[in-house]
């Protein structure tokens, strides 16, 4: 049984070394707003739901070539907002790791001060997505950065002030490093209920709900059989998958139980680990 079509990625919880440094980065460079801050932790977003939760651990070890976060992906609501983000990153001289046109989306990549991978992207309208033999066509073509910069420069003449992330920005997908592809595919497809949308050879898979290009991606680019990170390491603590109601949550919990996968359950929440130790917290909205 597939996961509910309204399933979506919720907040990403990261372990970082220096809360002040990380907040400064996410506010100034990417335009997040601090929703709440307490000693050692802060919740950030774009003024609506929390998108990112930072937990400080100054002595946390580095992860190295392990399973865990490859990147989390910030989905902005338009190409103009992507251009505005690019302009801000350029103004702040933030080192970039790459730019790609994925046919279904346009994306740029960078890292935070702790090396956590970040994608900022915008989706093309679904009616522009292409299918070949019933399969969604995606690629990693060069991004037209010059076109984005021209759009950003034209916008700057009318809106010179940086306003941060636009309302409607959300976490679009999670890309994970895993040990093995096949058991990862079985977990996210057969247990959580996401559908496979694309596969890159034997090293990467992409899965989604409701025909999206992907909510979850996983790769073995850190090495097949990569170990789990040290406990409490810098990087991903867990991420949230939201479903609309308790009934949808119960369906996932029942599949996990049937598969013999240990879960921790409470009203409105189910915590589970994928085969590589990446922690998923399923949450009912209603």
Please tell me the distance from the alpha carbon of residue 44 to that of residue 152, in angstroms, as a whole number: 25
Number of domains in the chain: 1
Tell me whether residue 109 is in a domain.
yes
Tell me whether residue 191 is in a domain.
yes
Label residue 188 by pLDDT band (50, 70, 90).
very high
Tell me whether residue 168 is in a domain.
yes
Tell me whether residue 143 is in a domain.
yes
Residue 190's domain comprises 8-284
Tell me whether residue 252 is in a domain.
yes
Q: What is the CATH number of the domain that holds 29?
A: 3.10.180.10
Tell me whether residue 269 is in a domain.
yes
Predicted model pTM: 0.97
Query: How high does pLDDT run on average in the chain?
Result: 97
Tell me whether residue 207 is in a domain.
yes
Tell me whether residue 2 is in a domain.
no
pLDDT for 61-92, tens place per residue? 999 999 999 999 999 999 999 999 999 999 99
Residues whose CB is less than 8 angstroms from the CB of residue 50 and which lie 6 or more positions away in sequence, other chains included: 10, 11, 35, 43, 44
């Amino acid at each position: 049984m597939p996961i509910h079509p309204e399933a979506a990625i919720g907040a990403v919880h990261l372990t970082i070394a220096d809360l002040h440094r990380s907040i400064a980065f996410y506010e100034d460079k990417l335009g997040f707003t601090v929703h709440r801050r307490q000693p050692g932790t802060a919740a950030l977003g774009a003024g609506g739901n929390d998108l990112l939760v930072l937990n400080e651990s100054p002595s946390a070890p580095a992860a190295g070539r392990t399973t865990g976060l490859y990147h989390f992906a910030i989905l902005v609501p338009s190409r103009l907002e992507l251009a505005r983000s690019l302009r801000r990153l350029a103004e702040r001289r933030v080192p970039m790791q790459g730019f790609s046109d994925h046919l279904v989306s346009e994306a740029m990549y960078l890292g935070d001060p702790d090396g956590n991978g970040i994608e900022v992207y915008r989706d093309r309208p679904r009616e522009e997505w292409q299918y070949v033999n019933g399969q969604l066509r995606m690629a990693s073509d060069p991004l037209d950065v010059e076109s984005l910069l021209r759009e950003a420069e034209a916008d700057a003449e009318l809106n010179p002030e940086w306003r941060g992330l636009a309302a409607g920005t959300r976490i679009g997908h999670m890309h994970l490093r895993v040990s093995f592809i096949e058991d990862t595919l079985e977990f996210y497809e057969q247990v959580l209920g996401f559908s496979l949308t694309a596969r890159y050879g034997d090293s990467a898979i992409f899965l989604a709900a409701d025909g999206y290009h992907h909510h979850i991606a996983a790769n073995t680019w850190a090495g097949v059989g990569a170990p789990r990170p040290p406990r409490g390491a810098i990087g991903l603590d867990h991420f949230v998958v939201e479903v609309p109601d308790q009934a949808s949550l119960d369906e996932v919990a029942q599949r996990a139980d049937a598969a013999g996968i240990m879960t921790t359950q409470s009203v409105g929440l189910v915590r589970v680990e994928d085969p590589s130790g990446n922690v998923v917290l399923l949450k009912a909205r209603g």
